[in-house]
Amino acid sequence: MGWGLSGLAALLVPDGSRSVPSFWGYINPETLFAVGLILLAGRQVVKVSAKSLSYFLYLPLPLRSPVRWRSLLPLAAAWGAVPFLTLHIPVVGWVTLLFFAGREAIIWREKQLALRELRRTS
């Protein structure tokens, strides 16, 4: 979605004269492209983090197992990207991360409730 919005923004930049003030006089297309990339990267950071934590928490291995701890490496790599997401456009970066993290938390909660209901009925 971010790529599509960024491409659409780049295509809609007016080529005519600048005598009439427009939206594009105030917003730089490069900024819109950067926002689109931040949205994509923020979504990936949260998805990788959720998957990594899921593997760590739910793998049926002992806590001291190296395989279990190895599943946290993508989490560290993903959160190493957070400063790059929030460096140039901090508000968009943090809002993106909070939005997708909240969405993943809601999805995780729904799955937990469904599992609980399944266990209760069986």
Instruction: Kindly report, residue by residue over 45-85, the tens digit of the pLDDT.
Output: 999 999 998 888 888 878 888 888 888 888 888 888 888 87
Please determine, for residue 13, whether its predicted confidence score (pLDDT) is greater than 60: no
Cα–Cα distance measured from residue 113 to residue 109, given in angstroms and rounded to the nearest whole number = 6
Q: What integer is the mean pLDDT of 19-31?
A: 65
Distance set, CA 48 to CA 41, 51, 88, 101, 112 (Å): 10, 5, 22, 11, 19
Structurally, the chain folds into a number of domains equal to 1
Of 28, 38, 27, nearest to 3 (Cα)? Answer: 38
Give the chain's mean pLDDT.
80
